[in-house]
Chain A
Amino acid sequence: MGSTRTGGRGVVRWRAAAATCAALVATPTVAACGSDGGMQINVYYAPEQNFQSVIDKCNEKANGRYEIVYRTLPRDADGQREQMVRRLAAEDTDLDILGLDVTWVPEFAEAQWLEEWTGENRSDAEAGVLEGPLSTAMWEGKLYAATKNTNVQLLWYDERVTPEPPETWREMIDMAKDLKAQGKPYEILFTGAQYEGLVVTYNTLVASAGGKILSDDGTEVVMDEGALDALELLKEVSSSGITDPSLTNAQEQQVQQAFEAPGSNSAFELNWPYVYAAIQEANPERAENLAWARYPGIEGEGPSRVTVGGYNLAVSKYSQHKPEAFEAALCLRSPESQKFSAIKDGVPPTIESVYTDVTPLDPSQPEDAATNPSMATAYPMKDVILEELEDAAVRPLTPVYQNLSTITAKVLSPPAEIDVEETAQELRDGLQKALESKGVLP
């Protein structure tokens, strides 16, 4: 911004020029530093506290044939995607393994940036993986990634306020209204800001109501009866005075903070499993009474079908060490690695057998909740997660998911002002244009 005018001081200008030249000359050297020594496999992955330990173990197994290097991506999903997309579009050969959010696989595959998984690699990557998460790694019948971890939201509640959790949204809304009338904590917290989280909430509601937003092949907008019911419900929840007043500002973090704040007005929180660990420190008193249950379903439609999140590992088409990259990726998401990440970082595994694994982290030592935890001690909500995962809902699989999400979030905001018919029509028009990638994004 603004103009940069450096008066008439020749010396200053000369010095600036010299500095620029020096910088220009120095840059390639710096960039080249990384490539000497043995073979490096660069993993571009979101920040995850103990992922480095997983990498260290896999490096041990590689036995010096290659070295996996953790390149941390930005914390926010948009930032992660942008960095990878920008570099892939420029055919950057430094990217070997890519950590992809479950909604990006079709997009990256369609853009021809991913190497397909075939033969033995494919059967290894598919072995024992739950169906929902696995479908997020596929595009047009081919496997383009190996599932690393999955994620589902649960219903978190306070046992002191509601000893019995609601099973459906109807029950939950009624309970919230009763609690409010009795002057007890009553709010239902969920992600209502104009962003991906609102789309996740809406997708769960649509799937739970037995509806569809897009056709199965992801080429046409359906927006059926179930999708309309979900709009109706979203509007009701948001406009009946039973959620947080700053709902339209609430992302995961705000939802979590609102639930764990001392003297919180909330009774229910719909959020990812990481809140279990977060609340232990933030509000020990509430943590003691924290309980969880399956995400509420829709009256008359059976149990909920919850949207899966999580990450997949893919191999870049521009990687120069593809065989090693496949091998490294398989190690990073092996059952042992997934178990380690679940216990240490709270990310739910995608391999079913890990959920029933009873051996502690270090099998040679006796189990201990503090020093040598097992899945059962560190991950008490694993059964509910597994139950939800068994009939999970997947977000529409399409290369233009980003556009769909941006438009859906925009049209649904603010949820309290949804007009079922009008909003549905707006969604149909906007999504159809987005599918053709012709429209303009807001």
Chain B
Amino acid sequence: MSQTVVTPPTTTESPKKPGKTVLSEGKRAERRLGWLLCAPAAIVMLAVTGWPIIYSVWLSLQRYDLRFPDQREFIGLENYIAVLSDGYWWTAFGVTVLLTVVSVAIELVLGMLLALVMHRTLVGRGLVRTVTLIPYGIVTVVAAFSWFYAWNADTGYLSDLVGAQAPLTEQIPSLLIIILAEVWKTTPFMALLLMAGLALVPDDLLKAASMDGASAWQRFTKVMVPVMKPAILVALLFRTLDAFRIFDNIFVLTKGANDTSSVSMITYNNLIKGLNLGIGSTMSVLIFIAVAIIAFIFVKLFGAAAPGSDQEGRR
């Protein structure tokens, strides 16, 4: 489906500044060897990520429907015009954005609470952390099926509980259930990332703040959150990128009926069901661009540190 290769932002120049220092013969040989050793991995990476991206961009510029092999032709940006002027696409886009924003916001709050609990736990810390992670360890499709049956009018206990007859046949209740399933599933992941951030907050700082008369809430907002900011941003970045590509929960819960399709869902329908490689690839490319924009915003504007770079965010 959609590729989400987030190109790491240009890292700060390597400390040695290769152009300026003259390398000895041995150093140069060593460096050459280094490149040679890296090459296979780098080539494989390029082949499995770079080539599909280029190929889908190329496909997106063609009229290419598997059912009409003779009509294949280059049509420039026509597919993009078709998709971007289509109501179904924008509905799906709106639904995706809504799902992303709401579920990530809820996950952040719940994840933070969970992280604080895990951080403060004194006994059985390992056990508590493992238990919290269980939802994240369950395959999404499996979890989605149990939600599906729980909310189904014939087999479900949850739909009886809230007195709704068939919540998965209406748009708003369906979206709420999808969000619930997403939140249940990925809050632990969020909590884990945030807990790593909590570990960065020195206890001395908190003690000093409370000596100065800061209330618990003030200690949280004025001391912990600023110190944790890089971890929060990374957690948000990961989850936003993930949430934007939401597919499996929707696929199982509603199959996109009643205007609950996400962009990934609609891409799947056009590509795999509709066999329209042109339109489908166009959508994949658009998702790729959207994901790249999200990553860009997080990295450049909020200063989230890209995973792997050596700096801890630029505040």
Interface residue ranges, A against B (CB under 8 Å): 1-3, 78, 81-82, 85-86, 89, 107, 110-112, 193-195, 245-246, 248-249, 254, 257, 399-400, 402-403, 406, 413-414, 437-442
Contact = CB atoms under 8 A, between A and B. Distances in A.
Given A437-B276, A440-B89, A3 B67 contact: no
B275 interface: yes
Interface in B267-281: 269-270, 272-276, 279
B88 A403 contact: no
10 contacts: A1-B186, A111-B67, A246-B153, A257-B154, A406-B274, A413-B257, A437-B67, A440-B89, A441-B274, A442-B266
B189 A2 contact: yes
Contacts of A1: 140, 186, 242
Interface string B167-179: 0110000000000
B184 interface: no
A440 B266 contact: yes
Contacts of B272: 82, 86
A406 to B, nearest CB: 7
Contact of B88 (A107, A245, A414, A440): A440
Contacts of A400: 67
Contacts of B273: 78, 81-82, 402, 406, 441
Given A89-B66, A440-B83, 16 more contacts: A1-B186, A3-B307, A78-B273, A82-B272, A86-B272, A111-B67, A194-B257, A195-B255, A246-B153, A399-B68, A403-B274, A406-B273, A437-B65, A440-B89, A440-B270, A441-B270
B269 A111 contact: no
A249 B266 contact: no
B261 A442 contact: yes
Contacts of B166: 245-246, 248-249
B69 interface: yes
Contacts of B136: 2
B255 to A, nearest CB: 8
Contacts of B86: 439-440
Contacts of B140: 1
A248 B65 contact: no
Given A246-B165, A403-B274, A442 B256 contact: yes
Nearest to A440: B86
Contact of A111 (B69, B88, B270): B69
B149 interface: no
B88 A110 contact: no
A306 B296 CA distance: 56
B144 to A, nearest CB: 12
Contacts of A194: 257-258
Interface in B57-107: 65-69, 82-83, 86, 88-89
Nearest to B65: A437
The 4 A-B residue pairs whose C-beta atoms are closest, nearest first, are A440-B86, A246-B166, A442-B88, A194-B257
